[in-house]
Amino acid sequence: MLCASATNLKIAEREPIVQCVQIKPLPPQPNGQERYRAVFSDIYNYVQTMLATQANHFVTDGILRKGCFVRLKSFQANAVKGKKILIVLDLEVLTELGECEKIGDPKPLESKAEDDEKNQPTTISTNGFYGTKAQNTRAQGSIRPEQARPLSTSAHATIYPIEAISPYSHKWTIKARCTSKSNIKTWHHSNSEGKLFSVNLLDDSGEIRATAFNEQCDMLYDLFQEGSVYYISSPCRVQIAKKQFSNLSNDYELTFEKDTIVEKAEDQHDVPQIRFNFTSIGDLQSVEKDTTIDVIGILKDVGETTQITSKTTNKPYEKRELTLVDNTGFSVRLTVWGSTATNFNVMPESVVAFKGVKVSDFGGRSLSLLSSGTMTVDPDIEEAHKLKGWYDAQGRSDTFTSYASMSSASTTGNGRLDQYKTIAQIREEQLGMSEDADFFSLKATIIYIKQDNVSYPACPSQGCNKKVTELDPGQWRCERCDKTYPRPEYRYIMLINVSDHTGQLWLSCFDEVGRLVMGTTADHLMEIKAEDEKAAGEIFQEAHCRMWNFRCKAKTDHFGDQQRVRYQVSSAKPIGYSEEASRLADLIRSYNIE
């Protein structure tokens, strides 16, 4: 009865109601978030869609399922290799309609006539489910600052979300806020010289970095102002992002060309001010060195400005060290540089949000604000309000575990890493099954190392570490750096089985831990393995049956339709028997046996 009534649903003009007939995860992308593909049907036709990352929770929470009915509230088209893909930005699952088998016999949306017009891009927007041909509303041409003029939204009937931009996108216009603008930088080489500046652009769907070189640098530098909203229209080169120069998670970046059009928007209020993707201070021990993150905390302490001299450039730099705390019970040192350090005047106990800070393993864990990063004091966002409420209620009197003192898994203090667990306790307490990650220390013996896929070929560029692909013998391609190298640098990505007196557990290890466990680099191990399998096997055998103190993180992740707990080692050290004896003595005393 319910399914029969559902067949009578009409597609609304602005928010069509459709049935989900298929949903599955997309293949993982390097340094990218998990993405999902969904197929929606209006009974007569079906269309391929990709969920924007902000809509992922509908799948991960189990709300969006095959057979359910959905109202598409916000969506946008993108052409990928000649096929129209709908980017779904927001939707509503109509739970009151329930679920049922696929209704009707829907046909693909693409038709032969449309295939003949593949060079005439079709745009799907919330003004029409099947789309209309994009109209070229104005002549293409480069714009100089004195030519910039505000346009009404009606002059840009079709606005692309930033998240939909890819090298396959053509004839798009985005409406975005400039959240960061660099100074003009120059370079002088033996065969070239020039200048450039970069901006970070933000809309509801995401962020992207854009760079202007030479002529475009002169034309656009004065036009772009931090905080202002702009229309930016192709042609504009889209390429793989150079992560070493950006603090954004987007896999792509833009380069302004001579015909790129940049216009200041009349409406400056319908685009977000800034977007954060915070990592809590307590989670920093599980973040790899050199990762770029966003962090928010209470400013607990402000150090004096000091000066250091760079060993590479021999130039002096001003620096100031700050101490941040949050409700995870941890504190971390964050360094700001240059004018940010000398002009710093934020009062202690303020909430400060940092976008674009680099994680270092110096002194346990520490942070450094990148030159492209930003700092916001008392931002008007939910995370800041919650943090301020917690600090005023109890945080002011709390004690915090400093990363500077956490050089081993047996750190003393009030932090969670003091809690040694047996494998039985880890399972009984269901560590990692909650929404937040759990951290613990484990004393265990390695009983098996999985030798398949023990390492991966990584980019040899400093700070990259992304997997490279062999194009031809002696040619290894890194898409992130956009370079080809004669050979990779192998890095560990190990799966080990450990045991204590209560059970066994599989742990994941990265390169730093792998070097400790194996006693050699992954590069050296792969060389030995290529020449002498038996010698490589002896190295693995030597690593077995050794006891370690592991610092671990337990976190639930999803693999296909399955949910599982992953145990990841953030650091390891051999057993220090003096420290271990003291720890066990303290444990005995804690029972207060008389």
Residue 405 pLDDT: 52
Under the banding of pLDDT at 50, 70 and 90, the label for residue 84 is low
φ/ψ (deg, to 5) at 217: -60, -45
**How far apart are the C-alpha atoms of 110 and 45, rounded to whole Å?**
9
Q: What is the pLDDT of residue 570?
A: 86
Report the pLDDT value the prediction gives residue 155, as an integer from 0 to 100.
52
Q: Tell which residue, 40, 70, 35, has the closest CA to residue 55.
A: 35
From the number of C-beta atoms within 10 Å of its C-beta (0-12, 13-18, 19+), residue 480 rates as buried
Rounded Cα distance between 97 and 2, Å, is 7
- Give the other-Cβ count within 10 Å of 401's Cβ: 24
> H helices then E strands: how many in the chain?
11, 33
Half-sphere exposure of 142 (CA within 13 A, CB side): 12
Torsion of CA 256, 262, 268, 269, to 10 degrees: -50
The CA angle 583-585-586, to the nearest 5 degrees, is 65
For the segment 507-520, what is each residue's pLDDT rounded down to a tens digit? 999 888 999 999 99
- CA 465-470-475 angle, to 5 degrees, is 95
Residue partners of 474: CB distance under 8 A and separation at least 6: 486, 487
Write down the mean pLDDT value for the chain.
Answer: 79
Q: Give the model's confidence band at 221: pLDDT under 50 very low, under 70 low, under 90 confident, else very high.
A: very high
> What's the helix, strand, coil split of the chain in %, to 5?
20, 40, 40
Position 118 pLDDT exceeds 50 = no
- Tokens read off for 6: 């559902």
Backbone φ/ψ region at 474: left (φ over 0), alpha (ψ -120 to 50), beta: left
Specify the range with the lowest mean pLDDT, choosing from 107-111, 121-125, 307-311, 449-453: 121-125
Q: What is the CA radius of gyration of the chain?
A: 27
- pLDDT given for residue 497 in this prediction: 94
The least confident of 123-127, 153-157, 476-480 is 123-127
User: In angstroms, rounded to a whole number, what is the distance separating the alpha carbons of residues 404 and 402?
Assistant: 5
Q: How far is CA 148 from the centre of its chain?
A: 34
Q: Which residues pair with 496 in a beta bridge?
A: 449, 507
Q: Are 471 and 560 in contact (CB under 8 A)?
A: no
Give the count of beta carbons closer than 10 Å to the beta carbon of residue 362.
Answer: 13
Which helix (H) or strand (E) segment holds residue 322: the answer is strand 316-325
pLDDT of 588 reads 79
Return the H-helix or E-strand segment holding 518. helix 511-518
Rounded CA gap, 29 and 38, in Å? Answer: 17
DSSP at 68 = B
Please tell me what DSSP assigns to residue 486.
Answer: S
Ordered domains of the chain (ranges, CATH):
17-108 (2.40.50.140), 162-264 (2.40.50.140), 281-407 (2.40.50.140), 420-454+493-581 (2.40.50.140)
Query: With contact defined as beta carbons under 8 Å apart, do 418 and 406 qualify?
Result: no
- Pairing of β 107-108 and β 45-51: parallel
| pLDDT for residue 197 | 92
What is the Cα 314 distance to its own chain's centre? 34
**Confidence (pLDDT) at 256:** 94
DSSP state of 145: G
Residue 28 has pLDDT above 90, yes or no: no
Written as six digits, the tokens of 481 are 């750096």
d(CA 546, CA 543): 6
pLDDT of residue 560: 61
How many percent of the chain have pLDDT more than 90?
A: 24
Q: Kindly report which listed range (52-61, 356-365, 373-382) carries the lowest average pLDDT score.
A: 356-365
Contact 584, 590 (CB under 8 A): no
pLDDT at 52: 82
- Which amino acid, one-letter code, is at 138? R
In which residue are the tokens 């943090």 written? 387
In whole angstroms, give the CA distance from residue 141 to residue 411: 62
Q: Give the pLDDT confidence score for residue 559 in this predicted structure.
A: 63
pLDDT reported for residue 143? 38
Tell me, what's the pLDDT at 83? Answer: 62
DSSP assignment of 162-218: GGG--TT--S-EEEEEEEEEPPPEEEE-SS-EEEEEEEEEE-SS-EEEEEEEHHHHH
- What is the Cα–Cα distance from 438 to 416, expressed in whole angstroms? 8
Token pair of 159 as six digits: 């606005």
Distance, in Å, from the CA atom of 250 to the CA atom of 126, rounded to the nearest integer, reads 25
Is there a cis peptide before residue 108, judged by omega within 30 degrees of 0? no
Q: Report the pLDDT averaged over residues 149-178.
A: 71
